[in-house]
Amino acid sequence: MYQSFDVTARPEQGPPRLAALRAELAQDGLDGFLIPRADAHQGEYVAPRDERLAWLTGFTGSAGFCAALRDVAGVFIDGRYRTQVKQQVAADYTPVPWPDVQLADWLKDQLPKGGRIAYDPWLHATSQIQSLEKQLSPHGFAFVQTDNLVDRIWQDQPAPPMQPAFAHPLEYAGTAAADKIATLAQDLRDLGQSAAVITLPDSIMWLLNIRGSDIAHNPVAHGFAILHAEGRVDLFMAKAKLDGLADHLGAQVTCHDPADFLSHVAALAKPADAKVGADLTTLPQIVADQLGQALVGSGDPCALPKARKCAAEIDGSAAAHLRDGAAVVETLAWLDAQAPGTLSEIDVVKHLEAERAKDPSLRDISFDTISGTGPNGAIMHYRVSEESNATLEDGHLLVLDSGGQYLDGTTDITRTIAIGTPPQEAREAYTRVLQGMIAMSRLIWPKGLAGRDIEAVGRMPLWLAGQDFNHGLGHGVGAFLSVHEGPQRLSRVSHVPLEEGMILSNEPGYYREGAFGIRLENLVVVSPAANQPTSDPERDMLAWRTLTFAPLDRRLIVTEMLSRDERDWLDSYHADVAAKIGPNVTKAAKVWLDAAAAPL
């Protein structure tokens, strides 16, 4: 599980690699090349072969891109990575705050008149290219499709992943793949579409009730799929991944070599009246080129059904969280018994992952464990390495963000822990973050609202103190699938209505660069409001059901800052933690838990 993370390109390696890329630009008569953190499947996570952004620049964040021009190379990063990027890229690269600065505006300022910017059409979504061309073509700039220039110069580029896929049992999936196919095929017929193209790995995994190992910590296999309105699926996946799955996939699924994908896509567009659905935000531009006028931007047909978890998926996730909570409590109890200055960040990671590994249903961790103390805790997506590994000192806070991939569910939990005696400033900030988590946990809202409509609730305690954090309040989570799952989010840019069965994170935070970080995270599932107000019985209300159970550090809570309602919620939550987790931990951890979860 834990592996020392070596940055793909160290800062000193970035400049010669950039120089080699610029030599390719000059050879092809180009003024720039776009390097996204993406693969042909447009998922959030990529295999080592597709880590082009990290290999070229050194930046290892899970989102971002580089625009490498002849005399400037911008690395575009959002608010989560503005501290991290400074540590990872050489001076030859210019960090660009995104989306504050849009790529089109930056290119207008940086490209010469009539400049030619190239891109790999497999690695850019249709909506991205449409937007850039709309903004830049009127100014005389040209977009040119090319083979990947980074691949030309990456001499030891890893091979594509070829791990075998495997069946996901019906007891965990809850709905047979044949039934999913039939339901979605009817949806296509209702829309007047003959087919839909699916490129997102987790959508294909969900539809066919299979899982894979092509991406670290995410149980997905790379491939493409075409869902036909008559109720069949063409699956384009390497034969080596599908050995032994013929009976599981059944007669409705026909398997093909991935090299045949584009020709099948082109055939879909041949009827003059063809309508083929796809999600333009994830469909590679090269696929859109094949579909032409037949392309309909109706979205990924699997996205919402996958997000709306069925009863078996919710029950499985709830069960996984109880076992996962026991591993977290064992680790917190062990950590609390160690003196400040005796442990490192890596020590904590190894202990927590060893506790999780005791569960035979664990298949992997759900992402690289974040264990950041002191200034490292202020790096939102910090990944500890042998070089950065810091000691947990008196007065530090430790941000511990982790999760597991269990056969019955995916977990993601963050706790911030006091090491020794925490400073008062950090305790006050922690209490505001806690108030934000409590406010969102208690929220009841009218059906039909999206994440953007309610996420401010979790920020208000921080806003009242003039504070905030540069990440969304929450992301969707899969069922033994990706720990980051769309389309649902608690974000000011999310317009997808929240629906019953969706699982999301509730994770406010606060980060003081160079000093400390704070984040608290529980997973919650959208549920009917149990105590719907009777004054408006015609209005359907929704609420959260909490799935995550582990104590919140009482040493960091300034109790007098909490209202009576907030104290009552916390006491009730801790009572649930003690009741649900207590029977599943060792005697020593149970003693610690009883004290940690005692009423305020």
Res. 5: pLDDT tops 60: no
Kindly tell me the sign of the dihedral angle through the C-alpha atoms of 150, 153, 157, 159: positive
Residue position matching structure tokens 């799935």: 547
Confidence label for 7 from pLDDT (cuts 50, 70 and 90): very low
Q: Which two tokens stand for residue 130?
A: 């449409």
Residue 56, helix vs strand vs coil: helix
CA dist 331 and 355 (Å) reads 7
* Tens digit of each residue's pLDDT (9 = 90 or more) over 470-488: 999 999 999 999 999 999 9
Which residues make Cβ contacts (< 8 Å) with residue 516, sequence separation at least 6? 374, 375, 377, 378, 396, 397, 426
Q: Measuring CA to CA, how many Å separate 45 from each of 107, 372, 457, 483, 509? A: 26, 22, 29, 10, 23
User: Within 363-491, where are the H helices?
Assistant: 424-442, 451-454, 460-463
Q: Measuring CA to CA, how many Å separate 3 from each of 45, 225, 356, 367, 410? A: 17, 33, 16, 12, 21
Residue 336, helix vs strand vs coil: helix
* Tens digit of each residue's pLDDT (9 = 90 or more) over 162-176: 999 999 999 999 999
Which residues make Cβ contacts (< 8 Å) with residue 140, sequence separation at least 6? 113, 114
Q: Which of 404, 408, 217, 416 is nearest to 324 (CA)?
A: 404
Decide: 269 and 290 in contact? Cβ < 8 Å.
yes
**If you average pLDDT over residues 493-502, what whole number do you get?**
97
Residue 484 is classified by DSSP as S
Helix (H) or strand (E) segment spanning residue 188: helix 177-191
Residue position matching structure tokens 């905030």: 468
CA dist 150 and 155 (Å) reads 10
Q: Tell me whether residue 251 is exposed, middle or buried, using C-beta atoms within 10 angstroms of its C-beta: 0 to 12, 13 to 18, 19 or more.
A: exposed
Q: What is the pLDDT of residue 42?
A: 87
Q: Angle 510-511-513 (CA atoms, 0-180°, nearest 5)?
A: 165
Architecture of domain 166-306: 3-Layer(aba) Sandwich (3.40)
Decide: 221 and 64 in contact? Cβ < 8 Å.
no
Strands of 462-561, DSSP E:
474-476, 485-490, 503-506, 509-512, 516-519, 522-528, 541-546
Res. 532: pLDDT tops 70: no
* Structural domain boundaries in the chain: 14-153, 166-306, 308-596
Decide: 125 and 285 in contact? Cβ < 8 Å.
yes
Q: What is the pLDDT of residue 2?
A: 45
Do domains 14-153 and 166-306 share one topology? The answer is: yes
* Tens digit of each residue's pLDDT (9 = 90 or more) over 246-294: 999 999 999 999 999 999 999 999 999 999 999 999 999 999 999 999 9
* Tens digit of each residue's pLDDT (9 = 90 or more) over 346-380: 999 999 999 999 999 999 999 999 999 999 999 99
Decide: 399 and 433 in contact? Cβ < 8 Å.
no
Q: Angle 159-161-167 (CA atoms, 0-180°, nearest 5)?
A: 165
In this structure, what are the phi and psi dihedrals at residue 454, rounded to the nearest 5 degrees? -125, -10
Q: Which two tokens stand for residue 517?
A: 């970080």
Decide: 470 and 82 in contact? Cβ < 8 Å.
yes
- Which CATH number describes the domain made up of 14-153? 3.40.350.10
Decide: 503 and 523 in contact? Cβ < 8 Å.
yes
CA dist 2 and 46 (Å) reads 18
CATH 3.90.230.10 applies to domain 308-596: yes
Confidence label for 44 from pLDDT (cuts 50, 70 and 90): confident
Res. 182: pLDDT tops 90: yes
Residue 75, helix vs strand vs coil: strand
Average pLDDT of the chain is: 95
Strand 522-528 vs strand 503-506: parallel, antiparallel, or unpaired? antiparallel
Res. 1: pLDDT tops 60: no
Residue type, 260: D
In this structure, what are the phi and psi dihedrals at residue 197, rounded to the nearest 5 degrees? -95, 130
